[in-house]
Amino acid sequence: MIYRENGQFKTSYAADQQIFPILQDRWAILGILVFAFVAVPLLADEYLFRAILIPFLILSLAALGVNLLVGYCGQITLGAGAFMAVGAYAAYNFFVRVDDMPLLAALLLGGATSAAVGVVFGVPSLRVRGLYLAVATLAAQFFWDWAFLRIKWFTNDSSSGSVSVSNLSAFGWDLESPTDVYLFCLLILVVFALLAKNMTRGAIGRQWMAIRDMDVAAEVIGIRPMYAKLSAFAVSSFFLGVAGGLWGFVHLGAWEPAAFSLDRSFQLLFMVIIGGLGSIMGSFFGAAFIVILPIFLNQMLPWLGDLVGVSISTAGVSHAEIMIFGALIVFFLIVEPHGIARLWSTAKEKLRLWPFPH
Amino acid sequence: MARQIGEVILDLQNVSLSFGGVNALIDISFDVREHEVRAIIGPNGAGKSSMLNVINGVYRPQAGEIILRGEHFRQMNPYKAASAGIARTFQNIALFKGMSVLDNIMTGRSLKMKANIFQQAFRTGVAKREELEHRAKVEEIIDFLEIQHIRKTPVGRLPYGLQKRVDLARALAMEPQILLLDEPMAGMNIEEKQDMSRFILDVNDQMGTTIVLIEHDMGVVMDISDRVVVLDYGKKIGDGSPDEVRGNPEVISAYLGASH
């Protein structure tokens, strides 16, 4: 089937405003969803689920949250990890302190708590921007790292902030096998991605982008910067909080504050920069790049070494992995500073005109 | 529809604005009547843009009053001004570069869209209906300004003249009562200027919008404006019909230089 929109005429604004206005895209996304929900659980083994797919799904959700704030609203943040931590520990507290708290409710309440915290730490964005804001959000990171380590109440009096949960189930669905965990995460991710898409294509998304692109003009139009910025912080932190809850509850099972350290914040920021700022799709690309590529390199390098007759030691592989990974990041940023998502959309645009570009 | 110039809708009284030691505006008073085209002219640095920034609240004047439809304001702020029906375009186009033409114009409807963030996230009936209604209105403006062919184009890719037109479209999407235009024809060729003049007159005529306009092209100003106010070094040196202003010796000396 040729990728082309010729002859697909829109006769109403509703048809013009759907998420995937091109018929082929709709089929493609349907295909991907069927593949992810039906084929993957049949094909993948436990290692693939635990090491790659589940982290990928959860970090995609987190990257989506960061992208809403950084990519759509233009407010740079280095506190993403902290909001994940807040989500995870808040969900933990709801889960263990309230009797019969359902898992999903605990996760959503964790997200809501994180959203409230996000609004508080978003207040500096009303005054400062750019690098200064990044430093201000760094405060969130340090504060919550410290809080979960030192304030015993948050961690139900456990030592050094390490907590664990077990016997998870949602709606009578036991989340024991990796397949179930995978499907649970996938379901949440799909729903949240849809919500994110709806917001970004609606009035609130336009307000965020207006603030990002030209805040004075946005104000003159009647957009209130305070509402736009703080709502972006809230929504972003909500996504991050839910992702943090998932990361702790269903991926790690037992965790300590180090799971949501500054490294995590940087990792998420890199994901959205490499994937594509201001693109829902870019969040997935970025998460895939950062989660899957190192593992892929790790597997590929010894094999490549054998191919040319050189045996590479395990230490050598991990060094080379980091070096190649770093080089690829630099390469991508030079070739396409707007991220993989831009490469993707350029390719699609070319394809729409192919083979007659003029 | 015959255009009827009405009562004073916007009245500025003794407005002074300074930045540190620089006096951008010194004790300026002038009024704008409903439905008229009011031009502000003056040499570079005369304080014309500052004047518009005071009217829609981007700058806060140190002294003076702004009277909008009988309501007195010491200072405006952008949100208040927008809610009161004041829209503006910018001298150095201030479009949202990362967004399409359509989205740029849709942002102009922000104040009129009421669905909350949850309704939007779940795209409930309310949010969906609202989006469609406002899209229809925006399409009218797109038709009016003849930019149908570029509605899906990212504004960054458009040539300068079209960007200016999108800037105007975004302001019109607010359905303003008073439209402030900051050099809408700067940097345009003669044809683009003609088009833009026509659009401005059509807006004024068909929508009844009051227009306050800064422009350097004297031919355009004299042709389309009803009254002109002249600024020089932050002071008002002339005010009246285009003919009166043209004959004013102070204005002539400000523009051509006085003979010594």
Query: What is the C-alpha to C-alpha distance for residues A268 and A274, in angstroms, rounded to an integer?
Result: 10
Q: B122 and A221: CB-CB below 8 Å?
A: no
A2: pLDDT strictly greater than 70: no
Q: Bigger pLDDT: B11 or B260?
A: B11
Would an 8 Å CB–CB cutoff place B38 in contact with chain A? no
Residue B95 near chain A (CB below 8 Å): yes
Residues of A in contact with B111 (CB under 8 A): 221-222
In chain B, residues with a C-beta closer than 8 Å to the C-beta of A220 are 56, 58, 78, 81-82, 87-88
pLDDT at A352 over 80: no
The highest-level CATH class for domain B1-85+176-260 is alpha beta
Alpha-carbon gap: A108 to the closest alpha carbon of chain B (Å): 14
Of A14, A17, A203, the CB nearest to B110: A203
Q: Nearest by CB to A13, which of B78, B123, B135?
A: B135
Q: What pLDDT is attached to residue A70? A: 94
A302 burial type by CB count under 10 A (0-12 exposed, 13-18 middle, 19+ buried)? middle
Q: Please, which pLDDT band fits residue A119 given cuts at 50, 70 and 90?
A: very high
The residue whose two tokens read 């227009």 is B211
Determine if the peptide bond prior to A355 is cis (ω within 30°): yes
Could you report the per-residue pLDDT of A12-47, keeping only the tens digit for each? 888 888 888 888 888 889 999 999 999 988 888 888
Chain A residues whose beta carbon lies within 8 Å of the beta carbon of residue B82: 219-222
pLDDT at A206: 96
Helix (H) or strand (E) holding A175: none
Residue A17 has a pLDDT of 82
Give the per-residue pLDDT at A4.
Answer: 66
d(CA B93, nearest CA chain A) in Å: 9
- B71-73, strands of its sheet edge to edge: B22-33, B8-19, B63-68, B71-73
CB contact under 8 A, B120 and A203: yes
Q: For residue B120, which residues of chain A lie inside 8 Å, CB to CB?
A: 198-199, 202-204
Kindly report which listed range (A89-98, A107-116, A145-154, A172-181) carries the lowest average pLDDT score.
A172-181
Tell me the average pLDDT across B13-35.
93
Identity (one letter) of the amino acid at B257?
G
CB contact under 8 A, B97 and A214: yes
- Indicate if the pLDDT at residue A321 is higher than 70: yes
Contact B103 A209 (CB under 8 A): yes
What pLDDT shows up at residue A133? Answer: 92
Whether the predicted pLDDT of A273 surpasses 80: yes
Q: Count the alpha carbons within 13 Å of B70 in the hemisphere toward its beta carbon.
A: 1
A204 to chain B, any CB pair closer than 8 A? The answer is yes
Q: How far is CA B217 from CA B52, B94, B141, in A?
A: 18, 21, 26
B80: closest chain A residue by CA = A222
pLDDT attached to residue B1 = 46
Question: Residue B260 pLDDT more than 60?
Answer: no
pLDDT at A281 over 60: yes
User: What is the residue extent of each domain of chain B?
Assistant: 1-85+176-260, 96-174
Would you call B78 and A278 a contact, using CB atoms and an 8 Å cutoff? no
Which of B88, B120, B136 is opposite residue A220, by nearest beta carbon? B88
List the one residue out of B252, B240, B203 whose CA is nearest residue B87: B203
Place A346 in a pLDDT band, splitting at 50, 70 and 90. Answer: confident
A-interface mutation test, from B49, B102, B105, B123, most A Cβ less than 10 A away: B123
Strand partners, A105: none
| DSSP one-letter string for A187-242 | HHHHHHHHHHHHHHHSHHHHHHHHHHH-HHHHHHHT--HHHHHHHHHHHHHHHHHH
How far off is chain A from B106, nearest CA to CA, in Å?
A: 8
Candidates A220, A242, A338: best to mutate against B (most CBs of B within 10 A) is A220
**What is the pTM assigned to this prediction?**
0.91
Count of other CB atoms within 10 angstroms of residue B187: 13
Share of chain A above pLDDT 90, in %: 52
Report the range of poorest mean pLDDT among A187-191, A354-358, B72-76, B152-156: A354-358
Residue B186 confidence (pLDDT) above 70? yes
The answer to whether B127 contacts chain A (CB < 8 Å) is yes
The larger pLDDT score, comparing residue B11 to residue B254, is at B11
C-alpha span between B244 and B248 (Å, rounded): 6
Distance CA A214, CA A219 (A): 9
- pLDDT for A182-203, tens place per residue? 999 999 999 999 999 999 999 9
**Distance from C-alpha of B69 to C-alpha of B86, rounded to nearest angstrom:** 12
CB-nearest partner of B107 from A206, A216, A278: A206
pLDDT band (50, 70, 90) for residue A354: confident
Q: CA angle B196-B199-B205, nearest 5°?
A: 145
Measure the CA–CA gap between A162 and A157, rounded to whole angstroms: 9
Chains A and B form CB pairs within 8 A to the count of: 103
Dist. CA A230–CA A120, nearest whole Å: 8
If one compares A298 and A205, the residue with the highest pLDDT of the two is A205
The predicted structure's pLDDT at residue B236: 93
Q: Which of A314-323, B32-41, B158-167 has the least mean pLDDT?
A: A314-323
Residue A115 has what pLDDT?
Answer: 97
Phi, psi of A169 (to 5 degrees): -155, 150
Among the listed residues B125, B127, B105, B108, the one whose alpha carbon sits nearest the alpha carbon of residue B116 = B127
User: Residue B72 CB: number of other CB atoms within 10 A?
Assistant: 10
Collapse the DSSP code of A163 into the 3-class scheme (helix H, G, I; strand E, B; otherwise coil) and give the result: strand
| Nearest Cβ partner for A213 among B82, B97, B122 | B97
For A142-192, what is each residue's pLDDT tens digit? 999 999 988 888 888 777 778 888 877 777 787 788 899 999 999 999 999
Q: Decide if pLDDT at A49 tops 70.
A: yes
What is the pLDDT averaged over residues A101-121?
A: 95
Nearest CB partner across the interface for A206, out of B97, B106, B111: B106
Q: What would the 3-class secondary structure string for chain B be?
A: CCCCCCCEEEEEEEEEEEECCEEEEEEEEEEEECCCEEEEECCCCCCHHHHHHHHCCCCCCCEEEEEECCEEECCCCHHHHHHCCEEECCCCCCCCCCCEHHHHHHHCCHHHCCCCHHHHHCCCHHHHHHHHHHHHHHHHHHHHCCCHHHCCCEHHHCCHHHHHHHHHHHHHCCCCCEEEEECCCCCCCHHHHHHHHHHHHHHHHHCCCEEEEECCCHHHHHHHCCEEEEEECCEEEEEECHHHHHHCHHHHHHHHCCCC
Residue for token digits 């609203």? A73
pLDDT tops 70 at residue B182: yes
DSSP 3-state assignment of A169? strand
How high is the mean pLDDT of chain B? 91
Of B99, B108, B120, Cβ closest to residue A202: B120
| Terminal alpha carbon distance of chain B | 50
Length, in residues, of chain B:
260
Q: Which candidate, B34, B37, B31, B78, places its Cα nearest to that of B54?
A: B78
